[in-house]
Structure 1
Amino acid sequence: MELLIQLAWDRTDDSPVAAIQYGRRSMALARRLDFPRGECRSLLMLGWAFLRAGDYPTAVQTQLEARRLAERVGFAGGIIHADNALGYAYAEQGNYPAALRHYRRARRLALQKKDSVLLTPILGNIGQAFQHLGQLDSALHYTRQGYRADQRLRDWHSEIGDLALLGDMEAERGDTVAARRYYQQCIRRAVGMPVSYALCRAYLGLAHLAETRHAAAATRRYARQALRAGQQGYYPKGIFEASNYLARLSAAQGDTAAAFRYLTTAAVTRDSLFNHRQLAQVQALAFGEQMRQREQAEQELKHAARQRQKLLLALLGLLLLAGALLYLWLSRRQLAREVAFAREREQLEQRSHLAVLVAEENERRRIGSDLHDSLGQLLSAAKLSLHILERQLQRDAARPASAHLEQLANALGMLNTAIAEVRIIAHNLVPSALVKRGLAQAVREFAAKLRTGGQLSVHVEVFNLEGHLDQTVEGVLFRVIQELVQNIIKHARASEVTIQLVQGEQELTVTVEDNGVGFDAQALGPEAGIGLRNVQARMAYLGGQAHFDAAPGRGTTVTLEVPLAAAAAN
C-alpha cells in the first residue's frame, strides 16, 4: 500500500490519470486491511490528483471525505493536509477568501501541534492568497515567514516555490532589483529538482522584467527557457502561458512562422490538458461509483442492524407502552407550562439585554454630546474671555501687569488641558469614525492609535465590509473589539495582533488573533471569567456567538460570528 501511495504521488504532476488509478488501488487495499490512516492518505493523494487534472468539484469532495475520516480516527496530520489542499482547490478556482479560511485553519492546528514541517508550505499559500486579494503587505509578511522556515527546515521544494512567489510580489510592488534577485536565486536552487512550476514562473518573471527594459533578446531567451522548463516537467499551464507569450513576441517582430509554431504548441498543450481532464472525469465517475457502492454496502449493514434492533424494541415497547402513554398524558400539561415559562424567560432576557445595551449606548452618546456641546463650549467661551482680558491687561500701560499675566497664563493652560481632556473623553464615548464612516473605519483608526506607541503591531484586514451596519450592532461589536484588545495589552504580552472583519453571504465574522502567552479558560478566576461572559452575553444579544481558541504558550484567537440579518444596515 505504501508503494502504491508513493507511485501515485510521483505521477501526480506528469500523469494525474495514472496517479488516480494508483490511488484507487491503494484505497481499496487500505479498506481490505481495515487501515483508516492508509485510507485517509490515499484520499488525500486522490484529491491532489483530481486537482492537478482540473476536476475541482471531485477534488473538494475527496478532500472533505479525507478530512472527515482523519477527524474520526484522530489523525491530526491528515486534517492539516486536507485543509491546506481545500484552500489550494478554492484558490485555483479564484475563491481566495474561502481559500484563506482553510489555510488559516490548517495553520492554527499546525501551530497547536507544533508541527513545523506541515506548517512551512501553508505560510507560502497564505501569502499567495493575500497577493490575489490585493493585500501585498500581508502577502509578503507570510511568504517571508514561510521562506525563513524553508531554510531552517531545509525544505528545498517549498523554498524554491516561495522564492518564485517573492519574485512575483516584489515585481508587483515595483522593486525590480529584488524581484530579479529572487527569480535568479529560485533558478539556481531548482537545478536537478522536480519543480517545473516554480522554474517556469521564475523564467516568465525574468522575461517580463526584461520586456519592461525593452531588452528584446533577453525577453525571448527567458521566455524560451520558461517553455523548456514547462515541457521538461510537463507543466501544462506553464507551457500554455509561455507559448502564448512567445507567439505574441514573435508576431510583434513580424516572425509569423515562429508565432504560428508557438500557437500550435499552445493549442496542442490545451488539447492535451483537455484530454487529461476528460480521462480524470472518467476516473472520477468510477471513483464516485466505488464510493457509492461502499456507502450502499454500509447502508445495507446499518439497515440489517436497525431491523434487529427494531424487533427487540418492539418486544420491549409492548411492555412499556401502557406506562409511557400514562406518563405522557400526565406530563403533557406540565411540559407545556415549562415550555411557555422558558419562552417567557428567554423573551425577558432578550428585552433586558436590549434595554441595557441600548441604554448604555444612548448614555454614552448623551454624555459625549453634553461634554462636547455644553461643557466644551463653556470652557471655550471661558478661554476666549480670558484671552480678551489678557489683551486688555497688555494694553494697560499705566500699571504693571506681569503678575496678573502670569496668573492668567496659568489659567489659560489649565483651560487648554481641560478642553483637550473633554475632547478625548467625548471621542472615547462615541468615536466619530464609528458614527460617520462605520465599523471598519472605526477599527482602523483604533488600531492606528495603538500602533503609535511602537510596542504592539496591529494588522487590520477588511473583506467586503464598508459603510454602515445597524447602529446598535456597530456599537456592540466595536466595544467588544476594544475590550478584547485591551485584554491583550494588559495580560497577553503580545507583540502582534491581527483583526479581521469578513462579510460573507450569511454572516459577519470578526477575528481577533494575537501571538501572546495565551491562557487556560478552565483556570480563570471569577473576575477574569466575567469579561468572557460579558463578551458572550453581548454576542448572544446580537444572535451571534463568540468562540475562544486559547491555550498557554500559543496565543489566543477569538472569533465573533453575527448573522447578517442582525448586522444589516438600516
Structure 2
Amino acid sequence: MHGIYYFTGMKRSFILLALALLSGIGLQAQSLNKDSLLLQLGSQSEDSNKAKTLYHLSMIYEKSDLDSASLYLEKLRSLSQQLNYLRGQYLYYERKTVVSFTNGDFTLAMEEARKGLELAKQMNNAGFEIVMLNNIAICYEYTGKFQEQLDYTLRVKKKIEDTKDSAKMSGLYHGLSNVYSNLGQNRKSVDCALFSIELYEKYKKTNHYINRVYAGLGQSYEALGITDSAEIAYSKGITESIRLNDRFAEGTLYKFVTHLYAALGKYNEMLDMANRGLRLAKELKSRHLEASALYNIAAASFYNNQNATAKQYIHQAIRIAEEDSLRANLQDSYKLLSYIEAKNGNHQSAAFAIGKADSLQQASLNEEVANSAADLEKKYETEKKEAQIALQAASIKQKNIINYILIGSAIGLLVIIILIYLNYRNKQQLQQQRIGELETEKQLLATQSLLKGQEDERSRLAKDLHDGLGGLLSGVKLQLGAMKGNVILTEENSRSFNNALSKLDESISEMRRVAHNMMPEALINLGLQQALQDYCDGLSESQSFQINGEFHGLEQRMHPSEEVVVYRIVQELLNNAVKHSGATVILAQVMRQENKLTITVEDNGKGFNKEQLNFYDSAGFRNIQSRVNYLRGQIDIQSVPGKGTAIYIECIIENNG
C-alpha cells in the first residue's frame, strides 16, 4: 500500500529550494534585523542606499511572506528605474525570480531570469551572470528540460572557473547535484551534494542556502535506498532552515520527511511531521504547501486505519487543489480518496475517484505530449529560421564583399584622380612660382641696371663738374685775382669786384657740394661708415636739429654698388626727415652682422598718417623701395601723428671683404 503515497509532484517540489543559491550580493541581509531595516527605511532619502534596504527586506520576507517580498521588490524596481540605478534593477530581477519560483509561477521566473541575465551582460558583471545562469538552469529543471538544465549549469561552471571565484563552487556543485538527480544518476548527485557541503564549510559566508543542499542530499539518499542517511540529511536541512528563517524550505522539508516515514512505515512519526507541515503552511498562507500537508495527514490517517479522518482531510486537500488548479496534488488526492472509499466499501465512489485521477493523469500526459510537440515544432521552426538566417547572412556577406570591392575600387579611383589633380596643381604652382621668381629676378636685374646706370651717370656728372666746370671756375678766380692787383679801380668798382669774387667762391663751393652729393669721395676712398658719418655731420652743421649716427660692423667693405645703394637709402631717409618731420633729434643707425644689414632712421617729429598722405605712392618712397628690393630686403614704417616716425629696413648682402 505504500506505493500510493508518493504523489506525482514530489521530486519537482524540491526544485524551488535551489533557486538563487549563487546570489552574490546583499546576503548579509540574513544577519540584519527586520525591525531595524524597517526603521532605517523610514528615514532614508530616495537614493541607492534606500534601494539596498528594500533589497535586504525582500530577501528576508521571501522566506516567510511572499506578498510583502513582492511589495518591497516593486518599490525597489520603481526607485531603481527613477534613479537609473542599474545595480538596483538587476537586484530586482534576481529576487523577483526567486519570489516567482517560490510562488509556483515558473514562466514568470524564467522571464525575469532572462531579463536579469541580459542586464548582467550589459553591466559586464560576471558574478551577476553566474546567478542568472543558475536560475535559468533551475527553471529548465522544473519544466523537465534536463539537457538544457545541464547546459546552463555547465555554463555556470565555466564562468566560475574563468573568474577563479572558488567561493561560488559550493552553489555550483549544488546545481550539478540536482542535474544528476534528474538524470537518474543519484550516486553522482550525492557526491556533488557532499562536495558542496564541504565547500560551504570552507566558505560559510557565500552560501546561505545550505539547508537546501541538505534537502537535495536527502532526496538522493532516499532514491538510493539509504534511508538512514536520508533521514539525517533531512534533519540537518530542517535545523539549518530554522536557523536561516527559511520557512518555505522548512515546510517543504517536512513534506520530504513525511514521505520518508511513509516509506519506512513510521506512520505516527509521519502524522506528526504532516501536522507540523500543516501548521507552518497556514502561517505562511501557502496554499500548495497546505494542500500537500492535508494530503499527508490523510495518508497517515489511512495507514493508521482512521478512514473517517483520512476522508475529511483528503476532501480539504481536493478543495484547495481544485481552487488553485494544483493538478498534481489533485491527481494524487483523488487516487488516495479511491483507496479510502474502496476500504470503506464504497466501490462506486472509489471508481469515480480513480476515474478522476486517471483523467487528470491523461490530461497531464496530453499536456506533456502537446508541450513536447510544441517544443519540437518550435525547435524545428527555430532551426528553419536559423538556416534561413544563415543563408541570408551568407547572401548579405557576399553582397557586402561585392559592395566593399566596388566601394574600394571607387575610392581607389577617386584617390588616383585626386593624386593626379594634386600633382597637376603642384606642377602649376611650381611653374607659377618659377615664373614669379623669374619675373622677380628680371625686375631685380632691371632695378640693378637702372641703379647702376644712375650711379654711373652721377659719377660721370660729378667728375665733369669737378674736373671741368670746377677747373674753369678756379682758373677764372685766379685770373680775376691777378687783375685786381694790376687794375686801378674806384672804391665803388672795387666793392663790386670783390662781391663778384665772393659770388665766384660761393659758386665753386656749391659746385663742389653738388659733385660730392652725386658721388661722395669719402664713400669711394674711406668706405661707407665714414661717408655716412660725414654726411650726417655736414647735414646737421649749424642747424636747429641734431643727427645721431650709429654705425657698427661696417669696417669690412661691401660691394661698391651695395655701398652706394645703402648710402642713397640713408641719404634719402635723412633728407625726408629734415624736410618734412620738423624733428629736433634724428637717429641714423646702420648695423651689419655677417650678411645681414639693418638700417634704422627715427625722428621725434610730427609724424604722419600713411594712408591719408598716400605715402606709398610718393616718388621718394618708390625710390627707397626700389633700392631695398635691390638689396633683397624688407621695409617697415611706423608713424603716428604727433609722435614721430620710425623706419626699419632689413637686407641681405653679399660678403665681399
TM-score range, shorter chain: 0.3 to 0.5
TM (normalized to structure 1)?
0.45
Structure of larger gyration radius: 2
